Structure 1
Amino acid sequence: MSKHSAIKVKDLVKHFGKDDNLVRVIEGASFEIQKGEVVALIAPSGAGKTTLLMMIGCVTEPTSGEIWLGEDLVYKNKWMAKDTRKIRREKIGFIFQSHYLIPFLNVLENITLLPQANDVSQKDAQIKAMELLKYLEIDDKAHNMTSQLSGGQNQRVAIARALANNPEIILADEPTAALDGERAVSVIKMLKKIASEQNVAIITVTHDDRILPYCDRIMKIQDRAIVFE
């Protein structure tokens, strides 16, 4: 495991069901992603992209194999920690196609929710949130409700929320699917900047060919295995 490695997967397998109902989704996947990389994950619908993302994110339990996040072995044929939620809170930021912002909280409150759940004081959480909003050039919307923002602005808020716990890894599931061309490119450029400047590894599931030129590598699920372009 290199000191620059953010994610390492070895012989990862995921099956659903059993006997006559057995569905083989991932078979023996092995790969490594470095800090600062933006990797696109592409495959046909139903090939297991989101399943792979959720296994790396310690949400879905694999059938077998190993997952390393940084220097920590988090899965080896079983979860190595009793509380996978703690791993997610401390190491991983999630961004989804639908931003899932809480509509009755304003922008600042949406971003500070997770840090405060991690016992960060309200004051420190707000300072960090404002830094992120300024970094993402949306600090003038801090006290707006999410309903007052455009789709692209809400996605930037979702990115700020994902960064609020200082993650080593960001997992994004179709983050630009609901955006037009200009906004989609703006979001992927922002993720590229975050990866480079904050040394964060980013995997983004996508069907959006517009964002592929901005990714460092393209990872495919092909015949239930992982291949790179």
Structure 2
Amino acid sequence: MSKHSAIKVQNLVKNFGKDDNLVRVIENASFEIQKGEVVALIAPSGAGKTTLLMMIGCVIEPTSGEIWLGENKVYHDKWLAKDTRRIRREKIGFIFQAHYLVPFLNVLENITLLPQANNVSEKEAKEKAMELLEYLEIADKANNMSSQLSGGQNQRVAIARALANNPEIILADEPTAALDGERAVSVIKMLKKIAREQNVAIITVTHDERILPYCDKIMKIQNRGIVFHELKEENIL
């Protein structure tokens, strides 16, 4: 496995049910994603996009196959780590269509919540949170509640929260679906900047064609397998 590889999947299978109720969702999917890449995951509704994302994120257990995150094999027909929650906390940041910020906490408190749960000191967690808010150009909103922010601002806070533990991988599920055109493009540009500058691999599930030109690759679920389409740099706006 290449030292630049962030995610490697080999012969991954996911079925639901059994016997007459067996539903085959993913069959023998194999692919590799490099650090610093932004990959759009597309497929019709019900084709298994979120299921694939959650398997990579160690949330849903595959039926069989292999998954590497960085240099560590985390799944080989069973989870190889006793605590998959630790893998999620240490290696992966999640971003969703809805920001899911805790409504009774302010912006800074939302971002520091997970690091402090991982035994990072309050001082260190706040310093990191403020660095992220500066990076995402919303440091002036640190003490605001989510109800006081726009949709785009809340999604930036959600991105900051996903970055709070210095993840190697970000998994985003329809992160721009609730945003208008300008805000959607702003968010995907921000994710691309993060991927490049922090060497983070990002997979984003999307139906939003507006963001595809900003991705490095398009990954399609086709006939339950994976097909890649690379985007040429000159075509990226």
Deviations 1:97-143 (A, max 9, x none): 00100000000000000000110000000000000000000000000
1:167 equivalent to 2:163? Answer no
- Aligned to 1:166, the other structure's residue is in SS state coil
Q: Which residue of 2 aligns with 1:227?
A: 227
Partner of 2:208: 208
For this pair of structures, how many residues does the alignment match?
229
Structure 1 Cα separation of the partners of residues 66 and 102 of structure 2: 34
Where do 4+ consecutive residues of structure 1 move more than 3 Å? Answer: none
* 1:62-92: CA deviation from partner (whole Å, max 9, x where unpaired): 0000000000000000000000000000000
Map 1:52-91; keep pairs closer than 5 Å: 52-91=52-91
* 2:186 counterpart residue number: 186
Residue 195 of structure 2 corresponds to residue 195 of structure 1: yes
Q: CA deviation at 1:182?
A: 0.1
- Quote the residue 2:235 is aligned against: none
CA distance in structure 1 between the partners assigned to 2:96 and 2:111 by the alignment:
15
> Match for residue 31 of structure 1?
31
The AA in structure 2 aligned to 1:97 is: Q
Question: What's the Cα RMSD here?
Answer: 0.2
Aligned pair 1:118/2:118, yes or no?
A: yes
What secondary structure is seen at the aligned counterpart in 1 of 2:58?
A: coil
Shift of 1:169: 0.0
Counterpart of 1:218 in structure 2 is: 218
Aligned to 2:41: 41
Q: Distance in 2 between matches of 1:98 and 1:53?
A: 16
For each residue in 1:193-226, what CA deviation from the matched residue of structure 2 results, as whole angstroms up to 9, or x when unmatched? 0000000000000000000000000000001000
Q: CA deviation at 1:145?
A: 0.4
Whole-Å separation in 2 of the counterparts to 1:101 and 1:207: 23
For residues 158 and 195 of structure 2, the distance between their equivalents in structure 1, rounded to whole angstroms, comes to: 16
* Structure 2 unaligned spans of 5+: 230-237
Could you say what secondary structure the match of 2:113 adopts? helix
Task: Among all aligned residue pairs of Structure 1 and Structure 2, give the percentage whose two residues are the same amino acid.
Answer: 88
**Which one-letter code corresponds to 1:69 in the other structure?**
L
State the SS of the aligned residue for 1:40. Answer: strand
Mapped pair 1:154 → 2:154: yes
Could you tell me how far 1:180 is from its partner in structure 2?
Answer: 0.1
Aligned partner of residue 119 in structure 1, secondary structure: coil
Q: How much does 1:192 deviate? A: 0.2
Amino acid in structure 2 at the alignment position of 1:171: L
Tell me the amino acid that sits aligned with residue 163 of structure 1.
Answer: L
Q: Secondary structure at the match of 1:114?
A: helix
Residues 37-80 of structure 1, C-alpha deviations (whole Å, 9 max, x = no match)? 00000000000000000000000000000000000000000000
SS of equivalent to 1:219: strand
| Matches of 2:166 and 2:228, distance apart in 1 | 28
CA offsets per residue over residues 151-205 of structure 1, 9 Å max, x none?
Answer: 0000000000000000000000000000000000000000000000000000000
- What is aligned with 2:234? none
| SS of equivalent to 1:65 | strand
Where does the alignment leave 5 or more consecutive residues of structure 1 unmatched?
A: none
Say whether residues 1:13 and 2:2 are aligned partners: no
